[in-house]
Chain A
Amino acid sequence: MDTAANIVEQPANPVYDKDEVVIHIKGLKKSFGSKHVLKNINLDLKRGENVVVLGKSGQGKSVTIQCIVGLLKPDEGELTVFGEDVALMSDDELKQLRNKIGFLFQGGALYDSMTVRENLEFPLTRVLKLRDQNEINKRVEEVLDGVGLLDAIDKMPSDLSGGMRKRVGLARTLIVNPEIMLYDEPTTGLDPITSREISELILNMQKKYKISSVIITHDMECARITSDRVVVMNEGEYIAEGSFDELKTSDNEIVRSFFKEQS
């Protein structure tokens, strides 16, 4: 994972204000029919910060980050990214915003009719509108080298293991130098060694390029490695917030239950 630092040539945010709030969520509510998934979500993500969201399955963790990128529209509440209200954005504005946000899906979401190379070329030619094939090849090879998968460049996604898919998915997201990364359970389904490698890669990205990240996970080892701050979610609400070590000794039984296995 040492090579992770080479993923992009230029730091995405060389000069930054660490107190700048890049994502601001207040009183966010979202329902699907009669099911109230998000009841009252409040979260501020500062620039260069890694926030881990912990919670049981079906508590609305993924719904929260889908609202952030505008895949879902919240029913109520404030949700601003870089100071702009996501719900009020036009399609073009949303597209511009998405160019600055990377989203790593649970299964990697690789385009299965394309090779790894074509998967990585896709955002370069469609989003960054690069036309110079030499420049494209250089960036693709750099980013793949960064996740340790240069050998898999001409393979199809069906030929890759779960961990390799996630790495390629991460490479595809990082290739456009996002300012914010949203990780939807980045280590689910991976063996402990690969999970640790992915977690360290996430941490390296944040440290090196000051990418702000929201990491949704059940994996306490991933939370320990990557988090600057941990938020615990239960029944559509955030019930606790603090550093990993602070929450470990929390009085709240639900919060403590997440750390039981860890200890």
Chain B
Amino acid sequence: MTEEVIPAWKRWLEGIGEQCVFFMRFVRNIFTGGFEWSEFVRQCYEIGYRSIMLVGITSFIMGVVLILQLRPTMVEFGAESMLPRTLSIALIREIGPVITAIICAGKISSSIGAELGSMKVTEQIDAMEVSGANPIQYLVVTRIIAASIMIPLLTLIGDVIGLFGGFIAVNLTDDISLSLYFTKCMAILEFSDFLPAFIKTIFFGFAIGFIGCYKGYNSNKGTESVGVAANSAVVTASLWIFVIDAIAVQITNLLYYQ
């Protein structure tokens, strides 16, 4: 038993060490050599534009479902008019960023993990390295920065669509104009609701890009390792999103609500 536990701990610690080294290589490569602008723009398109539909549909459904779930309780307390405000607080502060990040972890982190893993298996990364080109700069820096920029933007889009979904759900039973609905939504929101939520999505994006790149770049040279890299990227990125969220909430509470 002890013999099994020690190698497991050793592997875990080695993994942490490797991730730190990978992070340092990423940071060093941001500032050295030329930035791969064309690949960065391509990644922004792949990560951002091609995820809008998925994030939009999910956020719309979340907006509808939240209103439908909240409504009976709110009606019981005679607080039906508070529905838009409640939804906007829940969506902007917590549900929007986390749902968008989780959806993107599934779509983007796995896709980056599989792509880089497959490049590793087919020796494309080795080919880049032995040719004297810099695979970290071309493959890793562009993807992580693109994810760190695109996830906050996707979250903003998702929040607006989620609120619109809430508007449709409210109108299933009540009659409220779009302008009045959005006025009510915005009335409750403060700067301290937007900013921390926006900042944490940058970290979510970084985690999604970083974990996907790390898992793919360091996958083994076998066909099954591509699947393992993709799967492991999703699981680890999702876990990190919740860890970052928990830390972000604590910091936000310390800064704004104490």
Contacts and interface: CB of A to CB of B under 8 A. Distances in A.
Contacts of A169: 127
Interface in B131-151: 131-134, 138
Interface centre among B122, B128, B131 (most CB of A within 10 A): B131
Contact of B122 (A112, A122, A126, A172): A112
Contact of A69 (B115, B130, B138): B130
A250 interface: no
A99 interface: yes
A110 B132 contact: no
B124 A109 contact: yes
A109 B126 contact: yes
A106 interface: yes
A181 to B, nearest CB: 11
A98 interface: yes
B39 to A, nearest CB: 10
Given A109-B123, A110-B124, A111-B124, A71 B130 contact: yes
A127 interface: yes
A18 interface: no
Interface string A74-103: 000000000000000000000110110101
B130 A103 contact: yes
Interface centre among A105, A106, A126 (most CB of B within 10 A): A126
A46 B119 CA distance: 33
A107 interface: yes
Contacts of B119: 111-112
Interface of B: 115, 119, 122-124, 126-134, 138
Contacts of A99: 132
Contact of A123 (B115, B126, B131): B131
A176 interface: yes
Contacts of B132: 95-96, 98-99, 123, 126-127, 176
**Considering the complex of A and B, which 8 residue pairs feature the smallest CB-CB distances, nearest first?**
A109-B127, A126-B133, A98-B132, A109-B123, A99-B132, A103-B130, A127-B132, A105-B123
Given A71-B129, A106-B123, A111-B119, 19 more contacts: A69-B130, A95-B132, A95-B134, A96-B132, A98-B130, A98-B131, A103-B131, A105-B123, A105-B127, A109-B122, A109-B124, A109-B126, A112-B122, A122-B131, A126-B132, A169-B127, A172-B131, A173-B131, A176-B131
B155 to A, nearest CB: 27
Interface residues on A, range: 20 to 34
Contacts of B122: 107, 109, 112
Interface string A43-81: 000000000000000000000000001010000000000
B134 A103 contact: no
A99 B131 CA distance: 6
A112 B124 contact: yes
22 contacts: A69-B130, A71-B130, A98-B129, A98-B131, A99-B132, A103-B127, A103-B131, A105-B123, A106-B123, A107-B123, A109-B124, A109-B126, A109-B127, A111-B119, A111-B128, A112-B124, A113-B115, A123-B131, A123-B133, A126-B131, A176-B131, A176-B132
Contacts of B133: 122-123, 126-127
Contacts of A105: 123, 126-127
A127 B126 contact: no
A189 B225 CA distance: 23
Contacts of A69: 130
A156 to B, nearest CB: 14
A107 B121 CA distance: 11
A127 B6 CA distance: 44
B27 to A, nearest CB: 15
Contacts of B126: 71, 103, 105, 109
B183 to A, nearest CB: 47
Contacts of A123: 131-133
Contacts of A107: 122-123
B124 A101 contact: no
Contacts of B130: 69, 71, 98, 101, 103
B33 to A, nearest CB: 9
A35 B119 CA distance: 26
A112 B119 CA distance: 8
B245 to A, nearest CB: 33
A63 B126 CA distance: 13
A107 B221 CA distance: 14
A167 B68 CA distance: 62
Contacts of B129: 71, 98
Nearest to A103: B130
